[in-house]
Amino acid sequence: GQNIDQPTEMTATEGAIVQINCTYQTSGFNGLFWYQQHAGEAPTFLSYNVLDGLEEKGRFSSFLSRSKGYSYLLLKELQMKDSASYLCAVMDSNYQLIWGAGTKLIIKP
């Protein structure tokens, strides 16, 4: 079966760095996405990795290792507005997204 695993909840301090991990087992792989979802709102796109390595975009970076079925999202210089759920999704061989349940990130001052 297809499976995406990520921690249910994480807590971090304003100004700090946090790493959210995602492991996956899917039928085929056509890229991995990270989305941010604030409570009561729609998911919004953060990053896309299809090749191994690190993609940096401002305060956010995403890493992929296809051989390990592993990705992480790194958030630096945390701000209170980063409190949200972070969703990991893998595009399978049918070009459909398989979604993890999301990691709720709580930022404390």
Partner 1 sequence: IAGITQAPTSQILAAGRRMTLRCTQDMRHNAMYWYRQDLGLGLRLIHYSNTAGTTGKGEVPDGYSVSRANTDDFPLTLASAVPSQTSVYFCASSDGIQGNEQFFGPGTRLTVL
Whichever of 67 and 94 has its CB closer to partner 1, that residue is 94
Residue of 13, 12, 14, 32 whose CA lies nearest to 23: 32
Q: Which is nearer to partner 1, 72 or 103 (CB)?
A: 103
Q: Residue holding tokens 């893998």?
A: 90
CB of 6 to partner 1, least distance (A): 9
**Can you tell me whether residue 11 is helix, strand or coil?**
strand
| Residue closer to partner 1 (CB basis): 101 or 106 | 101
Q: Is the dihedral of CA 15, 63, 71, 88 positive or negative?
A: positive
Least distance from C-beta 21 to partner 1, angstroms?
15
Compute the least distance from the CB of residue 81 to partner 1, in Å: 19
Q: How many residues does the chain have?
A: 109
Binding site for partner 1 (CB under 8 A): 4, 30-31, 33, 41-45, 48, 50, 87, 89, 91, 95-102
108 and 95 in contact (C-beta within 8 Å)?
A: no
Q: How far is the CB of 106 from partner 1 (least distance, A)?
A: 17
Cα–Cα distance between 69 and 39 in angstroms, integer?
28
Nearer CB in complex with partner 1: 5/76: 5
